[in-house]
């Protein structure tokens, strides 16, 4: 929803300002310029990316219009509470007691109350995979931390592929606008025998290409690339929270203190306060 609102503000500001200065909208209506710029941009996007990148980008675009916030305080409260339950059981009964729980989390009574986590396949897989390594008992904490870092780096690189592809299209659009403008100027110069008024109109039409290329780049396409990068950084926090909490536990901290380590790395806008988390943990203990 915010994307649509932003686009409306861009359109209203640019074209509203143009109307206020006495501009004529008929001059800006150049469908052939749009065809040249848009077609060249799509062609360059297809030529410069493989099928996997194209599919990932097309899959990501509809998600940008969604107004729902996936990674909110409620999700992190669930995640931290689940981590506390798992680590407490492992500390009390031994980490081997978690083996049956992490092998089939969807049928585990420990995981059952945490439906949001169960609904996020990637976060659930990340959590259970590293718990499985810890349960095996033959891993060094430093090696686990390094493995987590490598996996998070891979996840970030993969998730940002659509952002990078859109950013390159945004960078190319001003140049493609110049291409359309040059073609318009060529057409105008080829009609040098026309009266000055008509020649001026042809040159004005040509200049619209440069305007459209820059507007599409910085008003529409590049903001999408930036938004994807923000969403990737936001989604990484859940994995980083799991990583920090598990590493604190491996280094000998009690479950409640380990969870506090995980809480501290969250963004302030989504981070539950110490009192909120402590109250939630007490409720979990009571259950």
- Tell whether 21 is covered by a domain: no
Check pLDDT > 80 for residue 139.
Answer: no
- Alpha-carbon distance 191 to 234, whole Å? 55
- Tell whether 143 is covered by a domain: yes
- Tell whether 7 is covered by a domain: no
Q: Give residue 180's domain range.
A: 27-287
User: Which tokens belong to 118?
Assistant: 């169960």
231-255 per-position pLDDT tens digit: 999 999 999 999 999 999 999 899 8
User: What is the pLDDT, as a whole number, of residue 67?
Assistant: 58
CB burial readout 8-20, b (16+ within 10 A) else e: eeeeeeeeeeeee
User: What is the pLDDT, as a whole number, of residue 8?
Assistant: 93
User: What is the pLDDT, as a whole number, of residue 285?
Assistant: 66
Assign 68 a pLDDT band (cuts: 50, 70, 90).
low
Number of domains in the chain: 1
> 1 near 227, Cβ under 8 Å?
no
User: What is the pLDDT, as a whole number, of residue 99?
Assistant: 87
- Tell whether 6 is covered by a domain: no
Check pLDDT > 80 for residue 280.
Answer: no
The whole-number average pLDDT for the span 41-52 is: 94
Lowest mean pLDDT among 67-81, 113-127, 140-154, 201-215: 67-81
- Tell whether 100 is covered by a domain: yes
The whole-number average pLDDT for the span 12-37 is: 90
More confident residue, 69 or 260: 260
- Tell whether 2 is covered by a domain: no
- Alpha-carbon distance 197 to 194, whole Å? 8
DSSP states of 17-40 = HHHHTT--HHHH--HHHHHHHHHH
The whole-number average pLDDT for the span 140-168 is: 93
Assign 146 a pLDDT band (cuts: 50, 70, 90).
very high
More confident residue, 269 or 240: 240
User: Which tokens belong to 227?
Assistant: 């938004």
User: What is the pLDDT, as a whole number, of residue 261?
Assistant: 93
- Alpha-carbon distance 208 to 218, whole Å? 16
CA 11 to chain centre: 24
Q: What is the dihedral of CA 232, 238, 241, 242, to 10 degrees?
A: -120
- Tell whether 20 is covered by a domain: no
The whole-number average pLDDT for the span 87-109 is: 88
User: What is the percent of the chain with per-residue pLDDT over 70, rounded to a whole number?
Assistant: 98
DSSP states of 57-84 = HHHHHHHHT----SS-HHHHHHHHHHHH
- Tell whether 178 is covered by a domain: yes
165-220 per-position pLDDT tens digit: 999 999 999 999 999 999 988 888 888 778 888 888 888 888 999 999 999 999 99
Check pLDDT > 90 for residue 135.
Answer: no
Q: What is the dihedral of CA 282, 148, 151, 143, to 10 degrees?
A: -160
256-265 per-position pLDDT tens digit: 889 999 999 9
3-state class (DSSP) for residue 41: helix
């Amino acid at each position: 929803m915010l994307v649509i609102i932003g686009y409306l503000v861009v359109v209203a500001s640019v074209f509203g300002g143009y109307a206020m200065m006495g501009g004529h909208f008929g001059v800006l209506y150049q469908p052939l310029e749009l065809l040249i710029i848009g077609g060249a941009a799509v062609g360059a996007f297809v030529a410069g990316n493989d099928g996997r990148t194209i599919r990932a980008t097309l899959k990501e675009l509809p998600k940008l219009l969604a107004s729902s916030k996936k990674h909110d305080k409620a999700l992190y409260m669930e995640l931290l509470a689940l981590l506390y339950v798992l680590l407490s059981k492992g500390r009390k009964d031994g980490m081997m007691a978690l083996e049956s729980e992490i092998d089939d989390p969807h049928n585990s009574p420990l995981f059952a109350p945490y439906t949001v986590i169960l609904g996020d396949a990637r976060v659930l897989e990340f959590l259970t995979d590293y718990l499985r390594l810890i349960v095996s008992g033959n891993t060094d904490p430093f090696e686990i931390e390094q493995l987590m870092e490598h996996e998070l780096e891979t996840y970030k690189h993969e998730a940002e592929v659509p952002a990078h592809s859109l950013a390159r299209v945004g960078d190319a659009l001003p140049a493609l606008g110049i291409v359309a403008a040059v073609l318009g100027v060529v057409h105008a110069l080829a009609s040098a025998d026309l009266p000055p008024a008509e020649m001026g109109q042809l040159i004005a039409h040509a200049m619209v290409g440069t305007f459209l290329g820059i507007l599409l780049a910085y008003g529409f396409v590049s903001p999408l690339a930036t938004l994807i990068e923000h969403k990737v950084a936001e989604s990484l926090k859940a994995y980083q929270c799991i990583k920090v909490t598990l590493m604190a536990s491996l280094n000998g901290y009690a479950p409640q203190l380990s969870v506090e380590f995980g809480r501290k790395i969250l963004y302030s806008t989504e981070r539950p306060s110490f009192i909120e988390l402590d109250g939630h943990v007490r409720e979990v203990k009571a259950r």
